[in-house]
């Protein structure tokens, strides 16, 4: 069964899903859709048994041709700006025209209700509305895959440079809420709920996302437009800090954030600074305890994902010195 991964050359989600598909011993064959035409990259992937098909995401002819013989399309595309919605919908309609059975838009964030509170993520909901129409009209089967916050944020500042690359799993973003990048002064911003208690959040290791996608492909009944949430670990900031403190060699400073303070801050951030607005809005989501993803796919599969305690022990604890 051929599975197309749009954006499959990415070092994070693309790599995770392609690696997990290759580990199925031929049950699933990854086919990467790529806008890049670099021959060396294609040759490198081909040596690992991965076919790369060049696509123009603004050409229906190109997309339909590239999706010939594909059973399922998984998108992990990251395209800034309004073009993202257009490209996702072009991919969806090409999958329908090519006769693909299943489709998953680029999600891998929060639940739909939480994403509606974040300007840049609300675009995902707009795409999902169109996808659900296709499902309801029986043009294609589909699911969305929320996963919470990448656990790999915890790898930023990992003290063993030899293990840091593995800890990050291709992740190159800067810190958010959890600030361990300076080993001398680690600190965590903690969004507080309305009763002033610590909020909760779901975290998932990027590598486990590929394994969860394989588990979703193994589901024999239709995805039926469901939200198939995957969870590495769901815990309170209090528990998160307690676990991290065992491995971070300096006292972790706690900087509480009330929703009121966050809302005031949001008013000062210009619309053009979309990353800063996104981070502030995501902190508000946490303060409302909406950064928790239901473990739907966990319950439908046998995947045993990495927990925060396991992640910290492996990348920050004594084990990291044992090769």
Q: For residue 145, with 0-12 CB atoms within 10 Å meaning exposed, 13-18 middle and 19 or more buried, which class applies?
A: buried
Same domain, 122 and 211: yes
Same domain, 51 and 142: yes
Q: At what angle do helices 13-22 and 206-218 cross, to 10 degrees?
A: 50
Same domain, 263 and 137: no
pTM, to two decimals: 0.94
Percent of all residues in the chain with a pLDDT value above 70, rounded to a whole number: 94
* Residue 228: predicted pLDDT: 98
Average pLDDT over residues 71-75: 98
Average pLDDT over residues 44-67: 87
Would the pLDDT of 320 be above 60? Answer: no
* Residue 321: predicted pLDDT: 45
* Residue 46: predicted pLDDT: 57
Same domain, 307 and 158: yes
Q: Out of 114-123, 126-135, 186-195, 206-215, which region has the weakest mean confidence (pLDDT)?
A: 114-123
Same domain, 165 and 223: no
> Which residue range is the domain that position 245 belongs to?
149-204+232-292+302-322
Between CA 77 and CA 55 the distance in angstroms is 13
Percent of all residues in the chain with a pLDDT value above 90, rounded to a whole number: 88
Residue 167 lies in a domain: yes
* Residue 4: predicted pLDDT: 98
Determine contact, residues 153/144, Cβ cutoff 8 Å.
no
Would the pLDDT of 44 be above 60? Answer: no
Same domain, 189 and 140: no
**What is the pLDDT confidence band of residue 80, given thresholds at 50, 70 and 90?**
low
How far, in Å, are 86, 89, 298 from residue 83 at the CA level?
5, 10, 33
Residue 297 lies in a domain: no
Same domain, 165 and 94: no
Q: Out of 11-15, 117-121, 215-219, 294-298, which region has the weakest mean confidence (pLDDT)?
A: 117-121
> Which of 227, 260, 282 is where one domain is finished?
227
Same domain, 186 and 277: yes
Calculate the average pLDDT of the chain.
93
Among 1, 314, 8, residue whose Cα is nearest residue 162: 314
Other Cβ atoms closer than 10 A to 19: 15
Same domain, 311 and 196: yes
What does the pLDDT look like over 217-241, one tens digit per residue? 999 999 999 999 999 999 999 999 9
What does the pLDDT look like over 130-176, one tens digit per residue? 999 999 999 999 999 999 999 999 999 998 778 899 999 999 999 99
What does the pLDDT look like over 242-278, one tens digit per residue? 999 999 989 999 999 999 999 999 999 999 998 999 9
Same domain, 22 and 129: yes
* Residue 161: predicted pLDDT: 76
Q: Out of 42-56, 63-77, 258-272, which region has the weakest mean confidence (pLDDT)?
A: 42-56
Region at 192 (left for phi over 0; alpha for psi -120 to 50; beta for the rest): beta
* Residue 42: predicted pLDDT: 53
* Residue 237: predicted pLDDT: 98
Residue 108 lies in a domain: yes
Same domain, 198 and 311: yes
Number of domains in the chain: 2
Looking at residue 222, the DSSP 8-state letter turns out to be -
* Residue 322: predicted pLDDT: 43
**What is the pLDDT confidence band of residue 83, given thresholds at 50, 70 and 90?**
confident
């Amino acid at each position: 069964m051929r599975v197309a991964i749009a954006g499959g050359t990415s070092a994070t989600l693309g790599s995770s899903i392609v690696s997990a598909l290759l580990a199925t011993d031929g049950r699933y064959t990854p086919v990467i859709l790529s806008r890049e035409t670099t021959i060396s990259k294609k040759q490198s992937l081909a040596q690992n048994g991965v076919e790369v098909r060049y696509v123009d995401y603004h050409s229906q002819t190109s997309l339909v041709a590239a999706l010939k013989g594909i059973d399922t399309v998984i998108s992990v595309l990251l395209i800034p700006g309004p073009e993202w919605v257009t490209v996702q919908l072009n991919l969806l309609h090409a999958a329908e025209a090519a006769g693909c059975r299943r489709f998953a838009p680029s999600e891998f964030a929060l639940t739909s209700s939480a994403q509606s509170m974040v300007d840049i993520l609300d675009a995902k909901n707009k795409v999902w509305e169109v996808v659900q129409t296709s499902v309801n009209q029986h043009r294609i089967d589909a699911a969305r895959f929320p996963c919470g916050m990448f656990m790999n944020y915890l790898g930023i500042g990992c003290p063993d440079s030899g293990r840091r690359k593995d800890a990050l799993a291709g992740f190159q973003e800067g810190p958010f809420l959890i600030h361990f990048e300076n080993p001398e002064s680690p600190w965590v911003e903690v969004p507080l709920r309305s009763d002033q208690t610590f909020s909760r959040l779901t975290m998932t290791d990027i590598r486990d996302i590929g394994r969860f996608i394989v588990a979703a492909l193994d589901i024999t009944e239709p995805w039926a437009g469901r939200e198939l949430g995957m969870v590495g670990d769901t815990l309170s900031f209090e528990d998160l800090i307690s676990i991290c403190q065992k491995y971070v060699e300096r006292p972790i400073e706690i900087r509480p954030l009330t929703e009121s303070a966050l809302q005031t801050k949001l008013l000062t951030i210009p619309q053009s600074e979309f990353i800063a607005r996104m981070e502030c809005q995501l902190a508000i989501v946490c303060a409302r305890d909406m950064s928790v993803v239901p473990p739907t796919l966990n319950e439908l599969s046998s995947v045993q994902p990495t927990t925060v305690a396991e992640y910290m022990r492996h990348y920050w604890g004594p084990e990291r010195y044992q090769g």
